[in-house]
Amino acid sequence: MNLDNIGWTFDNTYSKLPSDLLTKQHPIPVKSPKLIILNESLSKDLDLDFTKINDQNLSQLFSGNILPSGSNPIAQAYAGHQFGHFTMLGDGRAVLMGEHLSKKKERFDIQFKGSGKTPYSRSGDGRAALGPMLREYIISESMHALGVPTTRSLAVVKTGENVIRETHLPGAVLTRIAASHIRVGTFQYIAATQKQQNLKILFDYVINRHYPNIKNSKNQALDLLKTVMNKQIDLVIDWMRIGFIHGVMNTDNVSICGETIDYGPCAFMDTYNPETVFSSIDQQGRYSFSNQPKIIKWNLARFAECIITLIDDNKDRGIEIATEAINSFEKIYEEKWLNMMRDKLGLFGEDINDQILIMELLTWMHKNKADYTNTFCFLMNEKFSDNKIYNDENFLIWKEKWQDRLKLNNNSQEKYLKLMHSVNPIIIPRNHKVEEALAAANDDNLEVMNKLLTVLEKPYEKQNDITDFQSPPPLSNKNYQTFCGT
């Protein structure tokens, strides 16, 4: 099989870092791989051409059974605070095939997820089930279409082998694409080994790879902390904008480059409730919708702890400087959140009562169990269902206040609707529609998933015959739950 004409251009820099940070590791071969889905749009973005390779050979490639020349597979080491508890971790079921350069010289990690045991697997089998891998494909590609920084999904392959979770499930390998897989937990791992020389090597690598603009800074470490903090604030603001709940915001799932990473027990909020949790393992609501800003601040504080010695030679002074930076989080976040909510409501400029107006709407939505996405659609005159909830007297009173506010700052209907349509999705991956797609895929029916993916490609645009994808799930006594998949 000739893989050289696909267009791979590997330049593997991470694998040259100290051995403490990684282990050379090939994917464990699988019996009879079968290609389930290939992301043709992403292939083009990567300047890769798979059209001359048949499905059988693509299955061999995306299962890791056969590797292209130039790849250099490794498993990365990292640590993490998982639900607040520190653990030494690593790629327990993933292998980084290599770093691919596009024609624009953009660098992308190409990673297999579910590719078998590594030295970091602990008691795990290193494998993944088809459902969770397809969930990551669907949600990550939807996040990309929604304009949210994210890892992406290039392909999913069934392995022809079962994995044992609570039952026997079909195994799968996902090919994940990322700007890099360097995490807060990567720095925590090195900090825990107390090898200062490795910390400096990793730090310099991150600056060179992701943030060369701060190379000439007087205090690179402080500027890196501030840069990563701002990227994570922007990311969480995006999550709050679209009602996304990550579900497992451990420090090993916080990317240094600011992408959403690890779509385990993630989901989208239907009925607005700031305390919404979907993850089956989050019993205390640590990673609930409203807690996401607090948790990202906590995770950033853990990052700051790792680079104190690089911020200042004097540890006490370093702690003081880092603390000051972390303590600026709330002010930056609140300002950005307020501006994001102004955009969702089509408000230009600032008014002293904006926060009150916004909180009154959210309070009403919570009390009346209104759908988060569809409420903003209703305000944009997207009346796709006969929902009497918006005839509520208190809502109508609020709406009058909102309409009065819209008249300020030379606003017009054309202007505010254009702004609202740019930030309020008409379509999100509704949890029950995702589950329908996954259930059908498990029965070898890919039509349901492909239809869903097509609809999710244009979340801000009007489309024909999509009412079914806009409707909240039918009322049920059961709370929707998501699972990690490990």
pLDDT tens per residue, range 274-298: 998 876 566 677 889 999 999 999 9
Residue 320 lies in a domain: yes
Looking at the fold, whether 134 and 80 belong to one and the same domain comes out as yes
Which of 109, 223, 252, 270 is catalytic? The answer is 252
**pLDDT mean across residues, the chain:** 93
Looking at the fold, whether 167 and 120 belong to one and the same domain comes out as yes
The set of residues, in sequence order, having a beta carbon less than 8 Å from that of 21 and lying 6+ positions away, is: 14, 76, 77, 186, 189, 190, 198, 202
Give the pLDDT band of residue 382 (cuts 50, 70, 90).
Answer: confident
Looking at the fold, whether 210 and 319 belong to one and the same domain comes out as yes
Asked whether the predicted pLDDT for residue 117 surpasses 70, the reply is yes
At residue 410, the pLDDT reads: 86
Residue 258 lies in a domain: yes
**Taking a C-beta distance cutoff of 8 angstroms, is the pair 193, 82 a contact?**
no
Query: What is the amino acid identity at position 299?
Result: N
- The total domain count for the chain is 2
At residue 481, the pLDDT reads: 61
Asked whether the predicted pLDDT for residue 269 surpasses 70, the reply is yes
Looking at the fold, whether 145 and 213 belong to one and the same domain comes out as no
Residue 257 lies in a domain: yes
Q: Which of 178, 201, 221 marks a domain boundary? A: 178
Looking at the fold, whether 165 and 248 belong to one and the same domain comes out as no
Mean pLDDT, range 155-162, rounded to an integer: 95
What is the SS3 assignment for the chain?
CCCCCCCCCECCCHHHCCHHHEEECCCCCCCCCEEEEECHHHHHHCCCCCCCCCHHHHHHHHCCCCCCCCCCCEEECCEEEECCEEEECCCCCEEEEEEEECCCCCEEEEEEECECCCCCCCCCCCEEEHHHHHHHHHHHHHHHHCCCCECEEEEEEEEEEEEECCCEEEEEEEEEEECCCCEHHHHHHHHHHCCHHHHHHHHHHHHHHHCHHHCCCCCHHHHHHHHHHHHHHHHHHHHHHHCEECCCCCHHHEECCCCECCCCCCEECCECCCCCCCECCCCCCCCCCCCHHHHHHHHHHHHHHHCHHHHCCCHHHHHHHHHHHHCCHHHHHHHHHHHHHHHHCCCCCCCCCHHHHHHHHHHHHHHCCCEHHHHHHHHCCCCCCCCHHHHCHHHHHHHHHHHHHHCCCCCCHHHHHHHHHHHCCCCCCCHHHHHHHHHHHHCCCCHHHHHHHHHHCCCCCCCCCCHHHHCCCCCCCCCCCECCCC
Looking at the fold, whether 164 and 190 belong to one and the same domain comes out as no
The set of residues, in sequence order, having a beta carbon less than 8 Å from that of 220 and lying 6+ positions away, is: 203, 207, 214, 310
**Taking a C-beta distance cutoff of 8 angstroms, is the pair 212, 311 a contact?**
no
Looking at the fold, whether 44 and 144 belong to one and the same domain comes out as yes
At residue 480, the pLDDT reads: 57
> Among the listed ranges 385-399, 416-430, 449-463, 465-479, which one has the minimum average pLDDT value?
465-479
Q: Which of 157, 178, 199 marks a domain boundary? A: 178
**pTM for the whole thing?**
0.95
Residue 135 lies in a domain: yes
Residue 231 lies in a domain: yes
Looking at the fold, whether 174 and 190 belong to one and the same domain comes out as no
Asked whether the predicted pLDDT for residue 175 surpasses 70, the reply is yes
Residue 360 lies in a domain: no
252 catalytic residue (yes or no):
yes
Looking at the fold, whether 24 and 141 belong to one and the same domain comes out as yes
Angle, alpha carbons 413-418-420 (nearest 5°): 95
Looking at the fold, whether 166 and 95 belong to one and the same domain comes out as yes
Asked whether the predicted pLDDT for residue 386 surpasses 70, the reply is no
Task: Report the percentage of the chain scoring pLDDT > 90.
Answer: 84
**Taking a C-beta distance cutoff of 8 angstroms, is the pair 196, 279 a contact?**
no
- Interval 388-423: pLDDT, tens: 899 999 999 999 999 999 999 888 999 999 999 999
At residue 317, the pLDDT reads: 97
Q: Based on the number of CB atoms within 10 Å of its own CB, is 136 exposed (0-12), middle (13-18) or buried (19 or more)?
A: buried
Looking at the fold, whether 99 and 196 belong to one and the same domain comes out as no
Of 183, 187, 212, 208, residue with least CA distance to 198: 187
Of 155, 142, 336, 143, residue with least CA distance to 229: 336
Domain span at residue 196 reads 184-336
At residue 276, the pLDDT reads: 86
Q: Which of 125, 148, 178 marks a domain boundary? A: 178
Residue 235 lies in a domain: yes
Looking at the fold, whether 201 and 169 belong to one and the same domain comes out as no
Give the pLDDT band of residue 23 (cuts 50, 70, 90).
Answer: very high
Residue 232 lies in a domain: yes
